[in-house]
Amino acid sequence: MRSFSLLTALVLGLSAFVRAKSSQGDDVLVILDPKLNRDDYSLFFGGLEKDGYSLTFRAPKDVKPKIIKDDVPSFSHVILFTPETKGYASDITPQSLIHLLSLSTNLLITSSPKQTLLTALSSEFSLIPAPPSSPLLSHFPARSDPPTLLPIPVPDPIDPKSEYADHPLAIPPICSPHTKAVWYEGTAWALGNNPLLFPILRAPKESFVSDASGDEGAEGVVDAAEKGGEGLWAGSSLAVAAGFQTREGARVVWVGGVEVFSDRLAAKEIAPGVPSGNTRFTRDIAAWAFQESLVLRISHISHHLASSPPLVGSNTTNLPTQYTTNDKLTYTAHISIYNPSSSTWTPHVSLPSPQMAFTMLDPHILTTLSHSPSHAGTYTTTFRAPDRHGVFKFVLDYRRKGWTWLKSEEKVAVVPPRHDGYPRFLSAAWPYYAGAVSTSVGFVLFVVVWLSGEGRETRKKAE
Amino acid sequence: MSTAYALPKDLSRATVVNTASLIRIVALSLISGAAIASRLFAVINFESIIHEFDPWFNYRATRVLASKGFYEFWNWFDPTAWYPLGRVVGGTIYPGLMATSGVIYNVLHYFNLPVDIRNICVLLAPGFSALTAWATYMFTKELKDESAGLLAAAFIGIVPGYISRSVAGSYDNEAIAIFLLMFTFYLWIKALKAGSAFFGTCAAVFYFYMVAAWGGYAFITNMIPVHAMVLILMGRYSSRLYVAYSSWYAVGTLSSMQVPFVGFQPVRTSEHMAALGVFGLLQIIAFAQLVRSHVSSKQFNNLLFYGVIVLGVGGVGAVVGLTYAGWIAPWTGRFYSLWDTGYAKKYIPIIASVSEHQPTAWPSFFMDLQLLVFLFPAGVVLCFKELRDEHVFVIIYAIVASYFAGVMVRLMLTLTPCVCVASAIALSTLMDTYIDPVQPEADEDETAQSDAGDSVSGSSATGSISGAAPKKAKKLAAAAVAAPPSANPLAELVGAATGGPRMKKGVWGFDTRFTVLLHTFGMLAFFVMHCTYVTSSAYSSPSVVLASTSPDGSPHIIDDFREAYYWLRQNTKEDAVVMSWWDYGYQIAGMADRPTLVDNNTWNNTHIATVGKAMSSSEEVAYPILRAHDVDYVLVIFGGLLGYSGDDINKFLWMIRIAQGVWPEEVQEANYFTPGGEYRVDERASKIMKESLMYKMSYYRFTELYGANPAQDRVRQQTIPKPSPTLDYLDEAFTSENWIVRIYQVKKEDHLGRDIKSANAFEGGKKRKRGRPAVGRRRAMQ
Amino acid sequence: MKSISSLLLLPLVLAAKPPQERLAELAQKNNGVIPLDATTFELITGPKRTWSASIQLTAMDPRRRCGPCKEFDPSWKTVAEAWSTVPAKHRDTHFFGTLDFDNAQAVFQKLNLATAPVVMIYPATEGPRQLASGKTGPSKYEFSQGFDPLPLAQHLNSHTPVPIPFKAPIDWNKYATIAFGFLAFATFLRYAQPVLQSRFTWGIITVISIVVFTSGFMFNRIRNTPWAGPKGASVAAGFQTQYAQETQMVGMIYGTLAASFAMLIFVTPYTKSSSRQRVQVYIWNAVIIIVYSILVSLFKIKNKAYPFKLFL
């Protein structure tokens, strides 16, 4: 009896301890190449499972479990540990993977120098794959390891409030600060200019991509670059890990080599006595990919006449559908951020300069929403509607690399004043009023005089 | 005296009079019945449905009026029209029509007669046509007599020229406007005859109703002043004219300014200046007359006379000056294009593009008026014969209206009533002459002294002729008498026309009477058959539903439009924006209840040109435009499969022209023709033509229908080249049974941020060639 | 004369000199319009031109029978002349040229032009006046607004460095004719007053104009339809079209019918002897029936589906 209760307590305790961390769901499909041994990645997988993800493993050739069943994704996240796999089952094709994204499933994809189906897929994300079978290699720092296995320092993320946060080259705060350098082995990409794509980890300045696993390759690379035939496959313009967020907010992480996740490199020391940052790094990128970190959402939008604030607890269903020109309007957005540690949505108080546009064809008004300290997480602004009737949209479109895109459009009609909505008496019109009054008075007088005159004449006649 | 046929002797005068009036009433009611009945072909052949395009908007507006009440209607802002600009409906329409049916609706419901608003709208036009017949009767009665009135009523009741705009279901402003037109004119004539301020005011009230009902009120606004002006020039100024005109103008103008859409136009635009000017002139003349009546000095009168002239000229000069100063808006394009007929084509392609703004070829005149078209001049001659003020009115009306009708097909409508009146006068005079049983005695000498005018007409003519006319008349008459009458019939005509010495008139024998009347009745019968045929065949189809005959001859209804519109209504989001050419805007709004970019109220040329540009340019160019306007669906009309000639490919050139007017650099009409300058859709069509969105949407998957056989476009009579055009940025969403309506859905941006073309290529399984890092990028990274 | 001489001078002029100055000189010689031949055409439309040029390709030779060319040429000259009045620093950056078909047929073939006149506008390819769009190819001027100089000038303004100082010349003789006509009318009024005051005159005018309008006269005016169709077809097939000829036929018919009705109304009843009257009645009835059936059959030609017919 007691044992049973203990058991239950234990189970409860476990379940309490084991909780999903993702904001989207915790069932993950791992497509693992048979050549790879699952235990070599126990740290990574274990870490995920510890955090409450339920991993399902499947070989590329297996037919079950299907990734999409009846156009419904069977898993909320998919990991592809198939860097060198050539053949897949029929349900895994570049098309199906991209379709998976449109169904807002997240992907963590590992590639390799070898030319595979994934190489073709990567170019759809405007990643530019390096020439086939030519890994990233570097001779600095001097070390005993082969040049293809190189340490890459993880940059500290820039504080999102700093002015550099929006710089196109800024790396979003995906990796937690002070992460040690990671051991890396694999290929690298050049990044096309797609605003949805950003580097998570850049190749070191000294590194370059070459098919020859020796020094002699280096000049070849430079020559190639100078000839302009191939671009320059070297330097920190290349990325070894890149993040991609679709318009619908599904996330993809591309990593140039699967070994980063391995226990071997995780255990390998980066400097005497200092373990490498691999464990932390891999967990961080997984966290981003699986919608744990940098996840925002708009809880709800409200707008109303500045003069008449709505009742407390009014929700978006009963918003006014039309305003009059030149009204003073107040627009409020409630934005919250996902907190993975407690897996709850909490008001987001530090959103840097979100903007709202009041748009008809072109933005007529573009203002910055200010955070109101009284209610945490509410960003609001008050403005005068333009003197122009039409169907306007409140557009809140907040895009920062790495962060969830906040997008909301609220249609509202701005109408001219009602026929009795105009000022009734104009000071400028007094002459006309006077004219009207005087004319009518004059007419009355005239009639009176006329009639009386008639009367007198008739009386005269009578006499 | 002898009579051609025996007359019943034992009838008291009272009996005759009563019978006559009874017959008149019966006749009038029968005429109304005929007028209504002949307009019901549309309902019988098809169903009780609103026709064509504009009526759909009127119908929609009326529904709003009936459901929300007049004030809401007045303030109605329609956010779904002209998306995203919206339309202030209350301020941009003539509410008379909607108000009328709204009133009828409320009255019926007050008496607990739950009549559907749609049926009221459908049957409004026939109902008012009956009223028009009555108004015409009254009008003609003022000109001649009841018999002519009855004839005119019968004519206007069934003449196709009027039916074309007033069949059941064509719920348009003209439906009530013609009644108002005729009745206002009747009241004006009445006021002028009696010089009564009361009738003048009544005319003003109905003028106000007309202003509230139809943009064509400008016709009245100018007809009446012109009439007054001509009367003045003929030296027929009288206090009657002064009273009638002043009361009409003052009340009419003030009340017309109460219509929001008209506002201050009556004092600010050139169309209304004639009325104002004549009003001023009348005041001056009246003053002059007053002074003249008191002062008797000859020179002073001359002085006054010249003073009047100077003042008049000065007034005109002032108007012109104000126009140049910008205080008075010059003529609007639509109005101006009536005079300078080349104007619209050059500067306002939208107006020129409307089919009913084309000039009128003679067949349509004959089609619409048949025998009236040549009775009409004879009637005008009769008006000249006895030239009373009201006849002057008819004459002016005749000239002006026939000119306008020649310039624009749709203005045939304003000509028709005048034609009916005039020809009714002619025909009734003819019949009076030949039914009249009295026979003259044949000997010559009696004619000399018997001037006692027992003639039907003419005696009243001398009354109102003033100025120099009689002298001339005498001259001509003298000539007429001098020449042996029979030798020179023209001289006799002159004598008759100028109301010279009345010689005894009459017809001998029964056979003559019989022949004339027989063949008159024959022509009238033919007229009736013609009207019935034209009405049933030409003017009764609601272009929403098309009729055709299937091979076995049985009638077959083609209902693609409603099919497509209901598809939109039931399968798309409430606020899904539909883009189509402006002709279909009202129908989409009315039947599909979806926002549209442009519609038949063509107030914003640029917006229409935007649609034209999207339609006429390639997908890549059009896509940003569509996205910018939140367009979800694009709707095109395609007749190629069925041979429906009124489709978008045939209207395409106008889209191009209108777009070219705004973007002359980007859209050029010449590029859409073959090098030989032909407008083709087959393989010889120009590249730009083939890549235009309109072409692609029309012929998308068209050739697949025909399999191996050549795909024949039944309208253009050309074969469409294989393979059919492909669409990258649009998806075919719906195509109606006979392919008349095709609806396409606009794709959203690709969720991976690729351009849609390459995304499609990827879906199609194509490999893209490997990219390479931009070398320049290196510097950026440092 | 002048142009010929300049053509003779051409070779001398084409001696060493930067092309722009040469063109400027030529332009000045022939008040604004450079008479071009194949070589000068190559010069003016050379690939490295810092100037823009608008060139009229025409065929003025009477043998070519190019009516439009003759119609357009004066407006071209006036606009070019107007341009030659602007200060030199602007003037010499845009040139007007005229290339006659008979001087350079090769050019016409190269541009594969089958029609004349054509106005080609070559933008500058180099230098400050290069187009922002980087377009260097020539553009064509559409005669959408007729051959008048004003629209031409307005169109060219977008290609010239400064707007062309073109003002529509005051058409003196037009005003003169108007004034004269007015005076004539006034004097006419003075003397023909009795005629003008007789309702008879006005009646004739009115009736005629009505008949003319109702027989589709305005259609011919607006669409300026041909007098008769190809190979003398007098009646245009189709309900919405007509030839000028038809208007007259129909007008006649209407006139006759109206007249005969007028006769029946005005003349016949006033006839003195019953026999003559009877004859008249029958004549007019016959006339009406015959002419009317002609009209109906004519209408049947226009509207095939029309089911009715009278005796014809």
Burial B97-115, CB ≥16 within 10 A → b, else e: bbbbbbebbeeeeeeeeee
Q: Rg (Cα) of chain B, in Å, rounded?
A: 32
- CA dist., res. B686 & res. B680, Å (int): 8
Residues in chain B with CB shorter than 8 Å from the CB of A94 are 762
Place of tokens 């705004």: B662
Among C104, C122, C156, the domain-final residue is C156
Better-predicted residue by pLDDT, B775 or C17: C17
Report, as an integer, the average pLDDT of B740-750: 93
Contacts of A187 in chain B (CB under 8 A): none
Whether residues B430 and C210 touch (CB distance < 8 A) is answered with: no
In a domain, C115, yes or no: yes
Give buried/exposed letters for B669-708 (b at 16+ CB in 10 A, else e). Answer: beebbeeeeebebbeebbebbbbbbbbbbbbbebbeeeee
Q: Say if the Cβ atoms of C272 and B509 lie within 8 Å.
A: no
Domain containing C57 — which CATH number?
A: 3.40.30.10
Which of B395, B468, B497 is the closest to C197 by Cβ? B468
Q: What is the pLDDT of residue B501?
A: 43
How is residue B607 written in tokens?
């917006």
Which of A318 and A19 is assigned the larger pLDDT? A318
Using alpha carbons, select from B207, B217, B213 the residue that is nearest to residue B186: B207
In chain B, where are the structural domains located?
561-748
Q: Is residue C6 part of a domain?
A: no
CA distance B589 to B573: 14
Contact residues on chain B for A418, CB-CB shorter than 8 A: 75
Chains B and A touch (3+ CB pairs under 8 A): yes
Look at A101 and B752 and tell me if their CB atoms are within 8 Å.
yes
| B505, B274 Cβ separation under 8 angstroms | no
Do C190 and C111 lie in a common domain?
no
Contact B719, B725 (CB under 8 A): no
Q: What is the Cα–Cα distance from B140 to B156, expressed in whole angstroms?
A: 11
| Residue A98 contacts B where some CB pair is shorter than 8 Å | yes
Verify whether the Cβ–Cβ distance C240 to B361 is below 8 Å: yes
What pLDDT score does B539 carry?
87
The string of pLDDT tens digits covering residues B455-486 is 433 333 333 333 334 444 444 444 444 434 33
CB pairs under 8 A between A and B: 108
Encode burial over A241-252: b for 16+ CB neighbours within 10 A, e otherwise: bbbbbbbebbbb
| CA–CA gap between residue B114 and residue B136 (Å, rounded) | 32
First-to-final CA distance of chain C: 66
Q: Which helix (H) or strand (E) holds A251?
A: strand A251-255
**How far apart are the CA of B598 and the nearest CA of chain A, in angstroms?**
14
Inter-chain CB proximity B781 and A101 less than 8 Å: no
Q: How many CB atoms lie within 10 A of CB B510?
A: 13
| Average pLDDT estimate for A329-339 | 92
Helix axes B173-194, B412-435, angle to 10 degrees: 50
Q: Inter-chain contact C285–B515, Cβ cutoff 8 Å?
A: yes
Confidence of residue C16 (pLDDT cuts 50, 70, 90): low
Q: How far apart are the first and last CA of chain A?
A: 134
pTM above 0.90, yes or no: no
Chains A and C touch (3+ CB pairs under 8 A): no
Of A307, A295, A367, the residue nearest A335 (C-alpha): A295
Q: Which residue has the higher pLDDT, A437 or B765?
A: A437
Q: In chain C, how many domains are there?
A: 2
From B437, B419, B421, select the one nearest B517 (Cα to Cα). Answer: B437
Burial of A282 (0-12, 13-18, 19+ CB in 10 A): buried
Cβ neighbours of B383 (radius 10 Å): 26
Q: Which helix (H) or strand (E) holds C224?
A: none
Contact B86 A237 (CB under 8 A): no
Q: Whole-angstrom Cα distance, residue B47 to residue C129?
A: 66
How many C-beta neighbours within 10 Å does residue C214 have?
A: 29
Distance CA B13, CA B29 (A): 25
Q: Which residue from B minimizes the CA distance to A229?
A: B772
Question: And the tokens for B340?
Answer: 């300078």
CB contact under 8 A, B496 and C266: yes
Per DSSP, the three-state class of B632 is strand
Residue type at position A452: S
Is B765 in CB contact (< 8 Å) with chain A? yes
Least CB-CB distance to A390: which of B86, B753, B767? Answer: B86
pLDDT tens for A77-106 read: 999 999 888 888 888 888 999 999 999 899
Exposure string of A35-67, with b = 16+ CB inside 10 Å and e = fewer, is ebeeebbebbbebbeebebebeebebeeeeebb
Q: Does B770 touch chain A (CB under 8 A)?
A: yes
For the cut 50, the answer to whether the pLDDT of residue C214 exceeds it is yes
Of A103 and B495, more confident? A103
Any B CB within 8 A of C255 CB: yes
pLDDT value at residue B381: 93
Residue C59: domain span? 18-156
Which among B401, B412, B434, B459 has a CA at the least distance from the CA of B147?
B434
Cα first-last separation, chain B: 125
Which residues from chain C sit within 8 angstroms of residue B407, using beta carbons?
A: 218, 222
Establish how many alpha carbons lie within 13 A of residue C121's alpha carbon, considering only the half-sphere containing its beta carbon: 16
ipTM over the 0.90 cut-off? no
In sign, the C-alpha dihedral spanning B486, B492, B493, B496 is: negative
Residues of B in contact with A405 (CB under 8 A): none
- Residues 110-149 (A) with a CB less than 8 A from some CB of B: 120, 123-126, 128-129
List of chains touching C (3+ CB pairs within 8 A): B
Residues of B in Cβ contact (< 8 Å) with A228: 775
Q: Do C221 and C182 sit in the same domain of this protein? A: yes
Whether the per-residue pLDDT at A227 is higher than 70: the answer is no
Q: Say whether B86 and A196 touch across the interface (CB within 8 A).
A: no
Asked whether the predicted pLDDT for residue B339 surpasses 60, the reply is yes
Q: What is the model's pLDDT at position C209?
A: 93
Alpha helices in chain C (DSSP H): 2-13, 19-29, 38-44, 67-83, 88-91, 105-110, 149-157, 172-197, 199-214, 217-223, 244-262, 274-302
- Residue B772's pLDDT band (boundaries 50, 70, 90)? low
For C34-70, write each residue's pLDDT tens digit.
888 888 888 888 777 888 888 888 888 777 777 778 8
User: Nearest Cβ partner of C213 from B403, B447, B494?
Assistant: B403
The answer to the question of residue C311 being in a domain is: no
> Tokens in use for B723?
């393979």
C213 shares contact with chain B (CB less than 8 Å): yes
| Residue range C274-281: mean pLDDT, rounded | 87
Strands A106-110 and A77-81: parallel
Answer whether C52 touches B (CB < 8 Å).
no
Q: How far apart are CA B433 and CA B505, in angstroms?
A: 9
Is residue C167 included in any domain, yes or no?
no
CB contacts under 8 A, A 211-230 vs B, are 225, 228, 230
With CB atoms and an 8 Å threshold, state whether C215 touches B398.
no
Of the pLDDT bands very low, low, confident and very high (cuts 50, 70, 90), residue A212 is low
Could you tell me if C184 and C61 lie in one domain?
no
What average pLDDT does chain C have? 81
Strand partners, A239: A189, A202
Alpha-carbon distance A406 to nearest alpha carbon in chain B (angstroms)? 15
For A390, the closest of B85, B768, B778 (CB atoms) is B85
Decide if B538 touches A, using CB distance below 8 A. Answer: no
Record the tokens describing residue B353, joined without a space. Answer: 């593009």
Interacting residues of B496 by C-beta distance below 8 A, sequence separation 6+: B385, B458, C266, C267, C270
pLDDT greater than 60 at residue A255: yes
Is the distance from CB of C139 to CB of C126 less than 8 angstroms? no
- Across all residues in chain A, what is the average pLDDT? 84
Cα separation, B93 vs B65, whole angstroms: 13
**What is the DSSP pairing of strand C94-100 with strand C33-36?**
parallel
Tell me the shortest Cα–Cα distance from C50 to chain B, in angstroms: 23
Return the minimum-mean-pLDDT range out of A33-47, B18-32, B647-661, C10-24: C10-24
Q: How confident is the model at residue B544 (pLDDT cuts 50, 70, 90)?
A: confident
Rounded to 5 degrees, φ, ψ at C123 are -75, 165
For residues C235 and C106, membership in a common domain is answered with no
The answer to whether residue C74 neighbours chain B at the CB level (below 8 Å) is: no
Of A246, A391, A415, the CB nearest to B752: A246
Alpha-carbon distance of B223 to A346, in angstroms, equals 76
Q: Which C residues, 259 through 278, put their C-beta within 8 Å of a C-beta on chain B?
A: 261-274, 276-278
Structural domain ending residue among the three candidates C91, C123, C156: C156
Structure tokens that stand for C131 in this block? 């187009």
Neighbours of A323 (CB within 10 A): 19
Q: Which residues of C touch B424 (CB under 8 A)?
A: none
Contact state of A98 with B752 under an 8 Å Cβ cutoff: yes
Q: Report A:233-262 residues touching B (Cβ under 8 A).
A: 233, 235-238, 244, 246-248, 250
Q: Kindly give, in sequence order, each residue whose CB lies less than 8 Å from that of residue A242, ignoring residues fewer than 6 positions away.
A: A125, A127, A189, A191, A197, A198, A199, A200, A253, A254
- CB contact under 8 Å between C277 and B407, yes or no, is no
Q: What is the largest CA-CA distance in chain B?
A: 127
Question: Which alpha helices (H) appear in B159-238, and where do they start and end?
Answer: 160-163, 173-194, 197-213, 217-233
Alpha helices in B629-746 (DSSP H): 648-662, 687-691, 693-699
Question: Are the beta carbons of B775 and A225 separated by less than 8 Å?
Answer: yes
Whether residue C140 is found in the same domain as residue C37: yes
> Is A102 within 8 Å of chain B by CB?
yes
Q: Which of B374, B394, B513 would you mutate first to test chain C, the one with the most C CBs within 10 A?
A: B374
- For residue A125, which residues of chain B lie inside 8 Å, CB to CB? 752
Quick one: DSSP state of residue C97?
E
Spatial distance between the Cα atoms of B542 and B166, rounded to a whole number of angstroms: 12
A53 Cα to chain B: minimum distance (Å):
27
Phi-psi sector, B655: left (phi>0), alpha (psi -120 to 50), beta: alpha
Three-class SS string for B472-487?
HHHHHHHHHHHCCHHH
CA-based nearest residue in chain C for residue B381: C203
Residue C98 in any domain: the answer is yes
Give CA–CA dist C85/B30, Å, rounded.
Answer: 78
Q: Is C214 on the interface with B (CB under 8 A)?
A: yes
Q: Which fold has domain B561-748?
A: Rossmann fold (3.40.50)
Cα–Cα distance measured from residue A21 to residue B239, given in angstroms and rounded to the nearest whole number: 97
Tell me how far CA of residue B4 lies from CA of B1, B24, B689, in angstroms.
10, 25, 76
